[in-house]
């Protein structure tokens, strides 16, 4: 199945979200409390131990907001991406590029900017296809199999193909070369999260508990492989 032949694999609950999605996703970064990324035992992760085969997932800045951490295996330089050209007040924005010893680590809010499909414990239609996929073809792309969108994580998660129009929202990471640790310190495009909470309220309450999904993650957040977090990850 090539891109043209890609119709719709599974809309899932995203199908109910066709209306009311804001037109602008990126804006200036907003600071949040710093959260150290840890393993499932609470130990600070070592950035140099991260693999390149798939995305890692953590939650930030709220307990109900999934984010991807990806080791590209190569540097990713800062670049300017376009905001919504139809909006007077939201123009281009600067993606800061990768962090880590070789600027190879990137992070994005794992909520698709098309209809807000996002990983949960049951399923993730959004994934990092490190070695390529039927839809993406080339390796190293993020694909959303809800409706077939491709993003490029090496270029600020800019939109490459499919029904989404805007890049994924970036997460700001800080790398500490002294102890090889990583911390999240902010995100852009907070209005995407507002919309996600509104649209997925029932699912978020079910997974995290009433109100819990809106709570801050605090000073640390657990990171694990996406394949350990989501039971099913459809391929496309």
| Interface contacts to ligand FES, rule CB under 6 A | 14, 112, 114-115, 117, 144, 146-149, 162-164
Q: Which of 94, 92, 101, 99 is nearest to 78 (CA)?
A: 94
With 0-12 CB in 10 A as exposed, 13-18 as middle and 19+ as buried, what is 75?
A: middle
Q: Closest approach of Cβ 122 to ligand FES, in Å?
A: 16
H helix or E strand, kind and range, residue 202: helix 201-208
- 72 vs 146, beta carbon nearer ligand FES: 146
- 98 vs 167, beta carbon nearer ligand FES: 167
> Beta partners for 8?
none
Tokens 């680590």 map to which residue?
A: 105
> Beta partners for 172?
186
- 4 vs 178, beta carbon nearer ligand FES: 4
Q: Closest approach of Cβ 43 to ligand FES, in Å?
A: 33
Q: Which of 113, 114, 160 is nearest to 138 (CA)?
A: 160
Q: Closest approach of Cβ 113 to ligand FES, in Å?
A: 8
Q: Closest approach of Cβ 24 to ligand FES, in Å?
A: 17
- 63 vs 147, beta carbon nearer ligand FES: 147
């Amino acid at each position: 199945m090539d891109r043209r032949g890609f119709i719709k694999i599974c809309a899932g609950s995203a199908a109910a979200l066709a209306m009311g999605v804001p037109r602008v996703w990126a804006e200036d970064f907003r600071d949040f409390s710093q959260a150290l990324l840890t393993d499932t035992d609470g130990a600070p992760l070592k950035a140099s131990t991260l693999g390149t085969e798939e995305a890692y997932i953590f939650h930030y800045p709220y307990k109900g907001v999934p984010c991807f951490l990806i080791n590209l295996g190569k540097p990713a330089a800062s670049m300017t991406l376009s905001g919504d050209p139809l909006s007077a007040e939201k123009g281009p924005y600067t993606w800061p590029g990768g962090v880590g010893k070789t600027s190879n680590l990137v992070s994005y809010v794992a909520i698709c900017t098309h209809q807000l499909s996002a990983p949960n414990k049951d399923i993730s239609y959004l994934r990092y296809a490190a070695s390529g996929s039927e839809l993406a073809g080339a390796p190293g792309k993020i694909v959303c199999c809800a409706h077939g969108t491709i993003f490029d994580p090496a270029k600020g998660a800019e939109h490459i193909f499919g029904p989404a129009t805007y890049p994924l929202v970036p997460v700001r990471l800080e790398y500490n070369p002294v102890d090889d640790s990583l911390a999240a310190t902010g995100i852009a495009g907070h209005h995407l999260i507002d919309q996600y909470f509104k649209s997925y309220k029932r699912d978020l309450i079910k997974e995290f508990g009433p109100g819990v999904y809106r709570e801050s993650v605090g000073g640390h957040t657990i990171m694990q492989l996406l394949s350990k977090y989501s039971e099913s990850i459809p391929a496309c």
